[in-house]
Chain A
Amino acid sequence: MPGTDSEIAIEARGVAKAFDGRAALRGVSFAARRGELLAVIGPNGAGKTTLLSILAGQLAPDAGEITRPPGEIGWVPQRAGLYRRLTVCENLRLFAHLEGIPDPDATVERMLELTALSQRRDDQVAVLSGGNQQRVNIAIGLIAQPAVLLLDEPSAGLDPRQRERVWEFVGAMAGEGTTVIFSSHNIQEAERYGQRMLVLADGEVLLDGTAEQLHAQAPEAGYRDFEEAFVAFLRERGHG
């Protein structure tokens, strides 16, 4: 379960970023608590990946501040950052060594167990399915046991069974106290797995709350599903 306000794991205040004069983020502020699963949703070009990249320290914001937890932040980019010619085990061991983890071999074994990839440990990543590649990708993000895990579109390109596996895995991480912030444009998925959601459009935060709160702020009642309510919510705010 998410922690209390006093257990804020990561916080953004007034974060702004522009590329070639075009604003990607405009004064984004939010906070995520320990063990919370926060979904960042919005249409294409809303600024989701930019926000996660800034939270991960990959990009520097033009304005605003980020308060990060001490230690490592796990970052899982949308496209798996893996060496396809190395085996699962070699990928994990490489990043364990690069992270400077005291006992890399034990960490690799733990990650293999956690991702249920022990049987595929000696397979080259290139021969793994997209779902398994994503699990290795996430495992690398988790290898330094970060307090916060940032996932950019973690289920993109995966079939339903693979998605299910990934979300089981991510849910287990959050259950162990890892704060998980994930971006998605799959609204149903965000509703199902996100405990809270941050709705972004054109770089602005339109909503920071639960799925029920978004439903409540949609212009009318009686939508068939959450996606319809979300689209109506965006349209009413001029982002249709």
Chain B
Amino acid sequence: MRWLLVKDLQILRRSPLVTALLVIYPIVIAVLIGFALSRGPSDPRVAFLNEIPDNEEFSLGEADLDKDTAKSRLCERVDCVDVETRAEAERMVRDGEVLAALIVPEDLIDKLRSLTSLNPEQPTVEVLVNEDDPLKAQLVDDRIQALITEANLIVSQQVSEQASVYLDALIKGGTFEIPLVGDTIEILGLERTADVLEALRPALPKELQPQLDEVTRFARLAEENLDVALPLLGAVAQPIEVDKQVVNAGAPSLDSFAIAVAATVTLMFVTVLLVAGALALEREENAFPRLTRNLLSRNALLAEKVLLGIGVSLIVTLVMLAGLELFVSLDWSRAALWIPAIVGGGAAFAAFGAAIGAAAREVRASSLIAFMVSLPIAFLSLVPSGTVSGFAYDAIQVVAAIFPFDAALRAFEGALESGGPSIWAALGHLAVLVVAYFALARLALRRFAA
């Protein structure tokens, strides 16, 4: 078997394209994932046309809103690109230079002011979008919706706070500045109204006292109920508060998950394609009958291919992880766990590749089948729970369990971070898959020489 391994490595050395792929693939994956992890997500670019006049200003309680404040508030979550005209905004959206354009009309502040008057008008901002593909449309909708929701929340909080100030003045009384008009007035307040009425009571004729009592009782009742209204206004400003509690803490960090996905994808493609191709090559070269006639058993031939896959996957995946170290910090103290994860994943992918190679019987066909089967399985295995219907997710779980990707991914997650899933359970799963695919490959070899 040793000499067959040497032979396969010699053939690999003489296949520059395959060797280049084996070297370049993990490096490219490492660089891509590394860049993605180290740069983080960038804010979407949005054209911003601010039509609010320079001198326009609006005060709502303690908060002032002018042209610059409006822009800084709205541009907190997006990368705003200033434009001078509506035509320029439309052109940038149409040409794909920006994801959307946000147009703040000149009457925005007037309409915001009207919210605190007796004739409120709905303030409106205009959004131009280019929904030339459904994914982009979804992204734009989500971002704009989040932006507007946040702006509404800010305004409603300010309105609620201002309303609280009015109510407080109504209850406790004192000096008060009339909004928009600016005049200062003295307000008696419900508390003091009741006190004044109670103080007046002894001076009134007895027949008038019951009527005065009614007014006093009303003043007290109004004071108490409006006190209750104050916290209610705060609740209206942010009716639902999120209290997040993690019920399943088996998930690793996003960085570890991304590294595990990168390592598993690399391991999958390199190992499956290599082993499927190497086994199919034995038939294409017509060496299979010669080898299995009396030189070695079919089991030994399959075992040699699986060993080849494990060896190459070990080297390639370690190179990829070392490349990732340039961008993200890996926990090298857990390196001892990486080896069983790579070997377990490599063995399962190699056995899977052997089954494909034995069934396909030709190098090109085996490569095609390996791609066609592996890629959708990898995508399916990455579908998170709750994003599809319960039945579909159960079906995906079953399919994912039959193929090595999901178990290999869990093994990597467990190996990379202590917060990940159990590596040993994943390795047990992979061991079962190795046996199953080895048996399938052995079965497929029956018609291999035909």
Contacts and interface: CB of A to CB of B under 8 A. Distances in A.
A79 B286 contact: yes
Interface in B208-250: none
B289 A58 contact: yes
Contacts of A95: 290, 295
Interface stretch (B10-18, B199-207, B319-327): B10-18
A97 B3 CA distance: 7
A141 B4 CA distance: 18
Interface stretch (A38-46, A81-89, A160-168, A174-182): A81-89
B7 A90 contact: yes
Interface residues of A, number: 22
Contacts of B285: 81-84
B11 A57 contact: no
Interface string B260-297: 00000000000000000000000001111111011110
Contacts, number: 53
Contacts of A57: 293-294
Interface in A32-67: 56-58
A95 B7 CA distance: 10
Contact of A77 (B4, B6, B11, B289): B289
Contacts of A99: 295
A86 B291 contact: no
Nearest to B292: A58
Interface residues of B, number: 20
Nearest to B11: A85
A58 B291 CA distance: 10
Nearest to B13: A85
A221 interface: no
Contacts of A75: 290, 293
Contacts of B14: 85-86, 124
Contact of A86 (B11, B296, B449): B11
Given A98-B3, A98-B295, A98-B296, A90 B290 contact: no
Contacts of B7: 83, 86, 90, 94
Given A79-B286, A80-B286, A94-B7, A85 B15 contact: yes
A71 B11 CA distance: 31
B4 to A, nearest CB: 7
Interface in B60-84: none
B308 to A, nearest CB: 14
Contacts of B10: 85-86, 90
A81 B289 CA distance: 8
B287 to A, nearest CB: 5
A28 interface: no
Contacts of A81: 285-290
Contacts of A77: 286, 289-290
B298 to A, nearest CB: 13
Interface of B: 3-4, 6-7, 10-11, 14-15, 285-291, 293-296, 449
Interface of A: 56-58, 72, 75, 77, 79-86, 90, 94-95, 97-99, 124, 140
